[in-house]
Amino acid sequence: MTETVSPDPRHAEMARALRRMRFLGSFAFGNVAAVRILQLDAAGVSATQIGLLMAGYSVVVAAVEIPSGAVADVFGRRRTKLIALAFLVAAFAVFAVVDDVVSSAVALTLLALGRALASGPMESWFVDEVGDANHPSVLGGLSSAEAAHNVGTALGAVTGGLLPWLLADSVDQVSVFGPVFLMAGLVLLADLVITVRTMNETVVPETGPVGGVWKTTFVGVRSTISGVVPRWVVAVLATYGAFNACVELLTPLGLSEGLGSDRAALWFGAIVAGAWLISAFTATRTPQLEGWAGSAARAAGLGTVAMVLLMLPAAFPFWAAPVVAYVGLNTVGGPLLPLLATIIHRHVDSATRSTALSTLNLAFMAGATIGSGLVAVADRASVLLVAAVAVVCGWGLLRAQQRVQAAG
C-alpha cells in the first residue's frame, strides 16, 4: 500500500503549476488531434502517404528524443521547455497553410522537434523540486497532471472538431482547418507565459549533470534500462505507442469513409473528448490502483493486458469499430502512463531524469513509427500484430516484478 504522508503546501503549489502547463499544452494538441489527419485527407494526400508521413514524423521525434532529454538535464528544464514551445508555435503556423505533402512534411518536422524537446522537462522539474521520487507527492502530482493533460486534450478536441463544422459552408475543405492550428498556436503562447512565471528551478538537484549532452545521453539511457523491470517498462511504452498510432490513423479515416470529411471532424472531436475525459478520471485513480496491485509495476502489467483486450475491436472490418478501441486505449492510458513514468523516476537520479523520460518517449515514438508503418501496409490487421507483442510485454513486466520481489 502507498504510504500516507501529510500534504506539503509547496508540493501542492508545484503540482498546480504542472497541471496548468500540461492543460494548456494538451488543449493545443487536442485541437490538432481532431483535424490533423482529416486535413491531410482533404488536401488529397492518400492513406498510404499519410501513414508514411506519420511514420517519418515518428522517426524524427525518435532521432531527437534522447539528446533532447540530455539537453534538459544539462541546460535546465525551464529553458528547454521554452525552446520547445517556440518550435511548436512555428509548427502550428505552418500547419495552418498546409495544402500538399511537402508543406505537411515541413510542419511535421517542426512539430517533431518541439514534441521531442517538450517530452520531459516539466515532469522532471516537478520531481526534482519535490526532491524524492518515492514521496507520495510524486505519483499524486504526476497522476493529477496526467488528468489535466487528458481534460485539456478533450476540451481541445471538442473545439478543434467544432470549428471546421462551423466554417464548412464559408471556406473550402482544406482551408477550413487553418483556424484550428492558429488557435493552437495562441494557446501555446499562453503556455509560454505561464512557464516563465511558474516553472522556477529553486532546488539544486541531488547530483549535477554527468557531462556534456552526449555523455549525459549515454549515461542516462544506460541507467534507465539497467534493470529488468525498467527494460519491460520501455517495451510496454513501445507497444502503447504502436496501438496509439494505429487508432489515431484508423479512427478518423474510418469516420471520414463512413460520414464524410467535414462531419468526421465534428464526430472525431467528440470521440476524442469523451475518451480523454474518461482517461482523466482513470488517471486520478492511479495511486489507488498501485495500492490495490501492490506495486506500480504489477499495476502497469495488468493494465497492459487490459489494453490488449480493449484494442481488439479495431481489427474488425467496420468503419466505426476503431472508435471502441480508441476509447479503450485512452481509458487504460490514464493510469498506465503515470505508473510507468513513476517506475522510471524511482529508478534513476536527478542527473539523468529528463534523459530517462526521453528514453520512454523514444520507446513510445519507436512503437508509433512501427504502428504507422503497419497501418500503411496492413490496415486493420496491424492491430492484431501489435496485440501479440503487447501480450508478451505485459506478461514480461508482471514476471519481472515477481522475480524482483522474490529476490528482495
List all residues 6 or more positions away from 23 whose beta carbon is below 8 Å from its beta carbon.
148, 149, 151, 152
Residue 127's pLDDT is 87
What is the rounded CA–CA span in Å between residue 341 and residue 354? 11
Instruction: Write out the chain's pLDDT in tens, 408 residues.
Output: 344 445 678 888 889 999 999 999 989 988 887 677 777 777 777 777 877 887 788 778 777 776 777 777 777 888 889 999 999 999 998 888 877 788 888 888 999 899 888 877 888 888 888 877 788 888 888 889 888 988 888 788 778 877 777 776 665 555 677 788 888 899 999 999 989 988 888 765 544 455 555 566 666 677 777 778 888 989 999 999 999 888 888 887 777 776 666 667 667 767 877 887 888 889 888 988 888 888 888 899 889 989 999 888 888 877 778 888 888 898 999 899 889 988 888 887 777 777 777 788 778 878 888 888 888 787 888 888 888 989 898 898 888 888 877 776
What is the rounded CA–CA span in Å between residue 327 and residue 187? 25
Residue 88's pLDDT is 94
At 202, is the secondary structure helix, strand, or coil? coil
Q: Going along 166-221, which residue ranges are E strands? A: none
Residue 82's pLDDT is 93
Residue 318 one-letter amino acid: F
Residue 61's pLDDT is 79
Pick 9-200+210-407's CATH classification: 3.30.1360.120, 1.20.1250.20, 3.30.9.10, 3.40.50.720.
1.20.1250.20
Domain residue limits, the chain: 9-200+210-407
What is the rounded CA–CA span in Å between residue 126 and residue 133? 10
